Structure 1
């Protein structure tokens, strides 16, 4: 078996045979949806502020549609070859360089997302001070400011007593119940936020959201492109496609699960985007959970704020192990390509797990802002995993199965991804050099 073919082996059956009790489509929907609805939802309202409602809605629909196409490419070309992993199908198309590129992008994307999750959990529990404005966390509001509810201590407790037990599972299907709970919590978050926005609208406490972006300065047009990578990152789950898909009985089941998940997640993203923007207007933060601190004068309103924040913090804790799966297996394959399967070596399994948790924790303590993190990931590794690599596989067509439609869609996908990412990266560099905020 080639090193690429061993990638993610702890998550997959050793052959292409289906397990005795193959996962249901509903279970796959929960796992796919949980992989998608991670921290990305927190920055969706901010993209509505930057883009305006109509362009943001169009971007969500287009990116969801392209993500569905790219997953279909990945599954079809993987089943046409001998691999069972993303790195494996890239190796069959582009050799060892292809598999290494996938491994690096998965490690960058997933590690970045895990750090983002911890940053947001820290915001919820212990607050943040964006631009000098103090936003208290739930623990600080309830008990006052103490050493034991500081960001460092609260995150350490969460890491040791909640996240560590969850990342010990060695099969994706084992997380189907926690994934179902995670999706439910995301829906609760969106529902309560929507109710709060509607109540504020009825009471006349909201401002009308902008339908189109305001282009009031020279760089404004290019600044719009900095919001696109945020949505790309919010729909990037391709690192888990093979781990989930090859546990299914039929390839068509995975495609069905992905399409259901895309519709569900797009609806959730648009709902939280419009109502979050409506609720907080131009003051909406890059991490909208920071806005839910003390903005209500009533006890019920304060209770709803706390429920919103805590429900989504718990959601991220349940999403954490899904991303950790593919990150850990890719890192193991990258560092130890000749070793036995990771699941068979408990020492290596524990060592990599603890190192990843420790690094994520330290980075989350050091980095306070998630917006630039999303921009960086969406402009680089995430866009490669979601669009550029799947499009390149279809264009390379190592198995001779591409249709004219496949080649056209692949070319369009790659061109759009490269152009928008290049503009976003250039705009961010220009903003940093000139000292302006994007």
Structure 2
């Protein structure tokens, strides 16, 4: 029997005032549906899979081949599978405790376990993680379209190659056009389900990249132009061993989607399908990551760059190499453009929760919705255009904020177990998640700091 479900106690206590709650529409049978659009009968399973998969597959797909090469092909591929399983376990914990606490948001689950302070810390981590990712996405899009400078040499972007050097092919102009004509319409939606078609297209562009990489690899294998890839890590000294841990942030951020799990679940026609949706999305993304990493490592070997996209900036040694290079770069640039709005969606929700914890949901306030959207978009645009050293900062956010969002908070919520639903297995896995997250992240941050200091010292000398 269906009945109206009032908002959760934790959400009322830590997020909304009673006056604000009274004005919210209720979705029968499950939880609050924070959208003002009438006639919406709930999101489909396929749309949810596309949206969650798009949240997962962002820029990480380009960094994974170098990560796998550093770990060795066999340990690297196993690491991708292991982190996928760990991510599935952490998301399952969020879903279970959201049902137990009747919380409609991830921050509501954290508030139920740790109060307002826990909610605020989680939201800060989500904001740092998402804001960092979006600035990086825009930087990469600028690199793809207008090119980049490296060691005094200018690598041309696809628009410069096609149209020549003009004011409209400069980085600033192309990013402004992208912001106004691509991002602005897509970030104006108030339901995450409205992005299902662009998410499907984004997944399609990622598949195009993998297919072309696989095709080039197979052709070169048939021609005998590829050497045997390195199956195990290359350990020459103690420094090379510790360097292996710097791969952790890449592996961790490659699967971060926790901030969008409950927003997607809230809109489902049948919310009980969310566990199956998560499983299918992670299986698909793992397959995509494994294929990309395998073919990337086999194709480029030890010549693979930190961003494998940079390897497609020259002659691939096969016919139509230039055309294939452009196809890969364009498909990846379009992929990131369509990933951007779905990550922005949860960024806006969480920063609104931080700034206006007792206001009605942002989807019901036109003024707050659009002012928040414009302010965030302006900040991201400025960060991508005028902060050249921003990469160093995001080396640390991947090892800190992302780890907290994806693993430490789900594990801590489980260990807190305010509803008495955690099993011994849950507790064991949670302790393992916290240990792995804290230890490997500490080593990763230390290695990054050491690397930066070493580079600076080398430059000075």
Q: Per the shorter chain, which TM-score range? A: over 0.9
**Equivalent residue, structure 2, for 1:181:** 201
Q: Could you tell me how far apart the structure 1 residues matched to 2:251 and 2:14 are?
A: 29
1:117 aligns with 2:126: no
Seen in structure 2, the aligned counterparts of structure 1 residues 128 and 208 have a Cα distance that, compared at 3 Å, is farther
Work out whether residues 54 and 212 of structure 1, in 8 Å CA contact, stay in contact via their aligned partners in 2: yes
Deviates more, 1:354-363 or 1:84-93: 354-363
Work out whether residues 73 and 231 of structure 2, in 8 Å CA contact, stay in contact via their aligned partners in 1: yes
**Equivalent residue, structure 1, for 2:294:** 274
Q: Taking structure 1 as the reference length, what is the TM-score of the superposition?
A: 0.93
Aligned-pair distance for 1:82?
A: 2.9
Work out whether residues 128 and 134 of structure 1, in 8 Å CA contact, stay in contact via their aligned partners in 2: yes
Task: Structure 2: state its 5+ residue gaps.
Answer: 1-10, 34-39
Q: Provide the secondary structure at the position in 2 that maps to 1:134.
A: strand
Work out whether residues 286 and 371 of structure 1, in 8 Å CA contact, stay in contact via their aligned partners in 2: no
Task: Structure 1: state its 5+ residue gaps.
Answer: none
Q: Could you tell me how far apart the structure 1 residues matched to 2:128 and 2:28 are?
A: 28
**Equivalent residue, structure 2, for 1:247:** 267
Aligned-pair distance for 1:392?
A: 0.5
Q: Could you tell me how far apart the structure 1 residues matched to 2:217 and 2:148 are?
A: 23
Query: Aligned match of 1:355 in 368, 375, 396?
Result: 375
1:158 aligns with 2:210: no
**Equivalent residue, structure 1, for 2:434:** 414
Q: Provide the secondary structure at the position in 1 that maps to 2:154.
A: coil
Q: Could you tell me how far apart the structure 2 residues matched to 1:323 and 1:218 are?
A: 38
Query: Aligned match of 1:322 in 338, 342, 363?
Result: 342
**Equivalent residue, structure 2, for 1:228:** 248
**Equivalent residue, structure 2, for 1:339:** 359
Deviates more, 1:287-296 or 1:77-86: 287-296
Work out whether residues 87 and 103 of structure 1, in 8 Å CA contact, stay in contact via their aligned partners in 2: yes
Q: Could you tell me how far apart the structure 1 residues matched to 2:270 and 2:426 are?
A: 22
Q: Could you tell me how far apart the structure 2 residues matched to 1:6 and 1:296 are?
A: 56
Work out whether residues 126 and 136 of structure 1, in 8 Å CA contact, stay in contact via their aligned partners in 2: yes
Query: Aligned match of 1:2 in 9, 12, 26?
Result: 12
**CA deviations over 1:383-435 (Å, ceiling 9, x no partner):** 11111000001100000111111111111111111111011011111222233
Work out whether residues 148 and 156 of structure 2, in 8 Å CA contact, stay in contact via their aligned partners in 1: yes
Work out whether residues 128 and 290 of structure 1, in 8 Å CA contact, stay in contact via their aligned partners in 2: no
Work out whether residues 119 and 368 of structure 1, in 8 Å CA contact, stay in contact via their aligned partners in 2: no
5 Å-filtered alignment, 1:4-153, equals: 4-5=14-15, 14-15=26-27, 17=29, 21-153=41-173
Aligned-pair distance for 1:86?
A: 0.6
Q: Based on CA coordinates, which of the two structures has the bigger radius of gyration? A: 2
1:395 aligns with 2:415: yes
Work out whether residues 220 and 318 of structure 2, in 8 Å CA contact, stay in contact via their aligned partners in 1: no
- Root mean square deviation, CA, Å: 2.3
Aligned-pair distance for 1:3?
A: 6.5
Q: Taking structure 2 as the reference length, what is the TM-score of the superposition?
A: 0.89
Q: Could you tell me how far apart the structure 2 residues matched to 1:357 and 1:317 are?
A: 13
**Equivalent residue, structure 1, for 2:219:** 199
Deviates more, 1:60-69 or 1:242-251: 242-251
Q: Could you tell me how far apart the structure 1 residues matched to 2:265 and 2:329 are?
A: 32
**Equivalent residue, structure 1, for 2:306:** 286
Query: Aligned match of 1:237 in 257, 267, 275?
Result: 257
Work out whether residues 91 and 98 of structure 1, in 8 Å CA contact, stay in contact via their aligned partners in 2: yes
Work out whether residues 5 and 85 of structure 1, in 8 Å CA contact, stay in contact via their aligned partners in 2: no
Seen in structure 2, the aligned counterparts of structure 1 residues 184 and 4 have a Cα distance that, compared at 3 Å, is farther
Work out whether residues 128 and 368 of structure 1, in 8 Å CA contact, stay in contact via their aligned partners in 2: no
Count the aligned residue pairs: 434
**Equivalent residue, structure 1, for 2:444:** 424
**Equivalent residue, structure 1, for 2:5:** none
Aligned-pair distance for 1:29?
A: 1.0
1:405 aligns with 2:425: yes
